[in-house]
Amino acid sequence: MNYQAFKLSKYPQGKITMDIFDQVSLPMPALKEGEFLVKQTHMSLDPAMRTWLQERDDSYMPPVQIGEVMRSYGVGEVVESLNPRFPAGSRVVGVTGWSEYVLGNEEMAVIDPSVSAEAVLSIFYITGLTAYAGLMKIGMPKKGETLVVTGAAGSVGSLVGQLAKAEGLRVVGITGSDEKCKWLVDELGFDAAINYKSDNLEAQLNAAAPNGVDIFYENTGGPIQEIIFNQLNRFGRVIVCGVIADYDNAIPAKGPSWVDINLKSLRVQGFIATDYLEISDEAVSVLGNYLAQGKIQYKTHTVEGFESLPEGLMMLFKGENTGKFVVKF
């Protein structure tokens, strides 16, 4: 029996296009002692995937190599097992790849039967850890401060904003449509939301953050970056979680001058979730409590069918999703 997978055929030049992936048919592996086989059911599409397609050797992990199956996170069911930690019938989450079936690995985690795959991918795995670690450990939020988050209707951004609200902050979301703005304010309880495709962004931000900005959680980059940066208060913190707008460019746009970093004692700090694996349990516990109390909610943008993966990734980078992008099959 064979299964389907997508391999990387070439690196993208600029924006991601369909033709950088090849769909291939692979033979089902025979398990050796200690191995287990996972049938994927839910795959996560994440902005970080663009960085795994960059030919550079000094990033936090090597890029996906030409001819390799595309890297991704996913949830699946163990269908065959020679490993007692991952018995057949259990569900797991981990680094899987664009493949209907994958050999399991010891870094995978078994999922509690009561938790849905969507909740795992939205809250209890990398997305949740990213939002939690960035906001709490780098942002060090204090009640009454003002947070601005870009990519606010995305999986990480929507969680960051809700978590900051739960912690007592004023929250302003930046996103790409009036509809998403409405969702952030009406459904998620953000104090204000700004469509970055509208006019007079500086004045809008001034009105939305009348006491200035204490924490800037950056998911996107682009021209809005400097507008927010310029409104940071003394001792402001910037959490550089992602700069999608810049990943496509061979020579990325420059950042703000360091004069303000100096004169306003700012801190601009980048991270990736796996820098903070040691606080995974803390993140799960805090986010789980807020979820149970109704203080945070999640939304998934689900696309069906394994074949939808390349197109889904392009949709993600066009910002066509609201909430966590999941491909289900």
At which residue do the structure tokens 């939301």 appear? 193
- What does the alpha-carbon distance between residue 306 and residue 241 come to, in Å, rounded to a whole number? 28
Q: How far is the CB of 246 from its own copies (least distance, A)?
A: 5
Beta partners for residue 25, in sequence order = 4
Nearest of 199, 200, 201 to residue 172 by alpha carbon: 201
- What does the alpha-carbon distance between residue 88 and residue 29 come to, in Å, rounded to a whole number? 16
Is 243 an interacting residue with respect to its own copies (CB under 8 A)? yes
Length of the chain equals 329
Do β-strands 36-45 and 91-95 pair in parallel, antiparallel, or remain unpaired? unpaired
Residue of 105, 256, 314, 328 interacting with its own copies (CB under 8 A): 256
Is 213 an interacting residue with respect to its own copies (CB under 8 A)? no
Residue of 74, 104, 157, 242 interacting with its own copies (CB under 8 A): 242
CB closer to its own copies, 190 vs 247: 247
Residue of 10, 34, 60, 66 interacting with its own copies (CB under 8 A): 60
> Helices 280-292 and 155-166, interaxial angle, to 10°?
70
Terminal CA-CA length for the chain: 18
Is 262 an interacting residue with respect to its own copies (CB under 8 A)? yes
Burial class (CB in 10 A: 0-12, 13-18, 19+), 188: buried
Do β-strands 91-95 and 109-110 pair in parallel, antiparallel, or remain unpaired? antiparallel
CB closer to its own copies, 123 vs 266: 266
Using the rule CB under 8 A, give the single segment among 110-118, 125-133, 233-241, 310-318 that binds its own copies.
Answer: 233-241
Residues between 132 and 171 with contacts to its own copies, criterion CB under 8 A? none
Q: How far is CA 138 from CA 176, 231, 289, in A?
A: 26, 19, 21
Residues between 27 and 56 with contacts to its own copies, criterion CB under 8 A? 51, 56
Residues between 264 and 323 with contacts to its own copies, criterion CB under 8 A? 264-272, 275
Residue of 23, 257, 285, 289 interacting with its own copies (CB under 8 A): 257
Is 255 an interacting residue with respect to its own copies (CB under 8 A)? yes
Q: How far is the CB of 122 from its own copies (least distance, A)?
A: 22
Is 221 an interacting residue with respect to its own copies (CB under 8 A)? yes
Do β-strands 192-195 and 21-27 pair in parallel, antiparallel, or remain unpaired? unpaired
CB closer to its own copies, 38 vs 268: 268
Residue of 33, 57, 58, 278 interacting with its own copies (CB under 8 A): 58
CB closer to its own copies, 123 vs 240: 240
CA 247 to chain centre: 15
Residues that bind its own copies (CB under 8 A): 51, 56, 58-60, 218, 221, 225, 234, 240-243, 246-247, 252-272, 275
